[in-house]
Amino acid sequence: MSENNFLIGKILRQRYQIIDKLGKGGGFGETYLAEDLDIPETPKPKCVVKRLKPTQKSLEVQRLFEQEGRTLNKLGSHPQIPTLFAYFEDNHEFYLVQELIEGEDLTKEINRGWSESKVVEFLAEILELLIFVHENNVIHRDIKPGNIMRRKSDGKLVLIDFGAVKEVRTIVVGDDGQPTSTITIGTPGYIPVEQLQGRPQFASDIYAVGVTAIQALVGKSPQQFTQNISGEIECETLLSGINNDLANILIKMVKVNWRQRYPNAKVALAELLNIKPNLESLIHQQEQAETIKIDPPIISNISSNNITQPPESQLETPSGQVPLNSHFYIERTPIESECFQA
C-alpha cells in the first residue's frame, strides 16, 4: 500500500476508522473518509479526516496548529461551515476531524455557466457567509469553486478548506524563533498580488469571490482572463453586455490594488444589497425579453428541394372511371342553390 493510502483501515484515537481516501491529495496533506465508532448507530456516521504532515517538528508549529484548530472550531459553529469534531497530533502528524458535507463543489456547476441573476444570488450568499469569517478575524485565502460546496440537503453553499490550517504544514521556525511559511497558500488565478507577496488581507477573499463570479458569467477559467500591462483583469472586455451595476461591483472586487477593492465582505455585501432590488428587476426584464422570441414557422424551412418524391414507377393512378368501392373514390357534398348569394 502506498504511503498516501497507508491510513486506510486504521483507527485513530480509538474512534475514527479510516475507510477511504477522498480526492487526489496535494502538497498540504491528504483527506480521508472515516466512520465514528463512538456513535451507537448503524450504519456508523461518516466524517472527514484531514492529515497534515508538518515540514518541521517543533513546539512552535504544534502551538500554531492548536491555535488554528481553535479558530476552525469557532468557525464551525456557522451552519455553512463544516463542524470541527476534533483536532489532535499523532506520531508527529496533525489531524482534523470534520463534518462530512454531502453534495458537490461548484466546479461543474460554474463551468456550465450562470445567468446574471444567479451570480447575484451567489454573491449575496457567499458574502453573507464571509462576513462571519472576517468578523472572526480570519481570511480564508483559498476561495475558488472547488472549495465551495452546494449542500445536497438544502442547496446552500458551504465554505470548506480554510488556508490557514494548510499553512501550518509549511511552517518553518527560523533561528530567530519566528515562524515562516515556505509555500504561498492559494490557487493560481484566484490569488491576488498581495497574497502572493505573503500579505493577505480581507480584501484578498473579495478578489477570489469576484474572480469566481466572473468565471461563472463568462464561461472562462481565470487563466484565460486577459490582463493589461498593470495586471488588471480587462473586465470591460470580459463583462461587455453584462448589467452595468453588476459589472461595476465585479470590477471593484478584482482590482489589483487591494486598497481599491471592498475592504471586507460586509462592505461588499452592503453595496450589493443597495442596488440588488433594481439590479434584479433589470436582469429579470432582460431575461424575459430574451425568452419572448417568436421562432419562424417550421414550414418556412421546407422547400420542394427538401421533399423526397417517390419514383414515377411507384406511383399508382386510376385507369378509367372510378367505381364507388375504389380507394381512389372521393365523396363530394352536393352543391345546393342556397349556398350561393345573388
- Supply the residues annotated as catalytic: 142
Which of 43, 50, 54 is closest to 22 using CA atoms? Answer: 50
CA-to-CA distance for 237 and 225, rounded, in angstroms?
10
CA-to-CA distance for 315 and 321, rounded, in angstroms?
18
Distance of CA 112 to the CA centre of its chain: 10
Distance of CA 103 to the CA centre of its chain: 12
β-bridge mates for residue 70, sequence order? none
DSSP output for 272-317: HHHHHHHHHHHHHHHHHHHH--PPPPGGGG--TTTSPPPPGGG---
- Report CA-CA distances (Å) from 32 to 50, 86, 234, 341: 6, 14, 40, 90
Location of C-alpha cell 483559498: 142
Count of positions (residues) in the chain: 342
- Report CA-CA distances (Å) from 126 to 119, 139, 184, 267, 287: 10, 14, 24, 13, 23
The angle subtended at Cα 327 by Cα 323 and Cα 333, nearest 5°, is 75
Do β-strands 103-105 and 157-159 pair in parallel, antiparallel, or remain unpaired? unpaired
